[in-house]
A = this chain, B = another copy of it.
Amino acid sequence: MSEVETVRQAFVQLWGSMGPFWGISPTTARVYSWLLSRAEPADADEIVQGLEMSRGAVSMACKELREWHLIFPEKAPGSRRVTYRPATDLEKVIRNIVEIRKRREWDPVLESLREWIPLLEADPSPEAEVFRERLESLESLVALTDSMVNVFLKGGLLGRFGLKMLVKAARDEPRHETPDEELVLQLEESP
C-alpha cells in the first residue's frame, strides 16, 4: 500500500474516534477526514467505496457536514452528480463548531444558573444557602469562560491577528490594577 493510503487510513481512524469530542458522530468525522485527505472533491459513491460504508450512512454524514459548513456540494454541469469539497480553512471550521456548540449547549447553562440562584435566595434553609453559593461560583466560572470563548469567536486568539490581538488589548490597558470583570468586558468589546 502507498504511503498516502497508509496515512489516510490512520488519519481517518484517528479523527473518527475524536468525532464525539467535537459533538460529531464517528462516521461523520470519518467522512470529513477522508475528504480532507484527498486532493480532489469526491462524490457519494467514491466515499462509499473509500470508507466501506452504506449509501445511506454517507448521505446522512454529508447532510450533517453540510449543516456544519464543513463540506460544500458542487455540481458538475451536464451531470446530476454532486461532489463534495471539504472546507480547508481549519481555523474557520473550528470557530464554527465552537460557536454552534456554545450557543446550543452552554448559553442555556448560563441561563439556567441565573434562573436558579434567585430561587434559592428565597429559601432560608442552610442547605439552600450552601447550594446557592456553589451555583454562584459555578456561574462566575461559566461566565468567565463564556467571555473568553467570545473573544475567540470574534476573531481573537487564533484569528486574523493570531495572539497579537490579545497582546494589543492588554497593552492598551492602563497600568493600574484592573478588576477581571472590566478587562473581560473590554476584551469582548474591542473591534
User: A residues engaging B (CB < 8 A)?
Assistant: 2-4, 6-8, 10-11, 14, 18, 20-21, 23, 36-39, 88, 90-91, 94, 105, 109, 112, 116, 119-120, 122-123, 125-131, 134-135, 137-138, 141, 144-145, 148, 157-158, 162-164, 166-167, 169-171, 173, 177-178, 180, 183-184, 187
Contacts and interface: CB of A to CB of B under 8 A. Distances in A.
Contacts of A18: 105, 109
A112 B17 CA distance: 13
Given A7-B131, A18-B109, A144-B158, A170 B180 contact: no
Contacts of A134: 36-37, 88
Given A90-B138, A128-B3, A167-B170, A11 B105 contact: no
13 contacts: A2-B123, A3-B122, A4-B131, A10-B116, A11-B116, A20-B20, A21-B23, A38-B127, A90-B141, A164-B178, A167-B178, A167-B183, A170-B170
Contacts of A125: 2, 4
A180 B8 CA distance: 30
Given A2-B125, A94-B141, A163-B183, 12 more contacts: A2-B123, A3-B122, A8-B131, A38-B130, A141-B158, A163-B187, A164-B177, A164-B180, A166-B166, A167-B178, A167-B183, A170-B171
A39 B94 contact: no
A184 B163 contact: yes
A76 B155 CA distance: 53
A172 B183 CA distance: 17
B126 A39 contact: yes
A3 to B, nearest CB: 4
A41 to B, nearest CB: 12
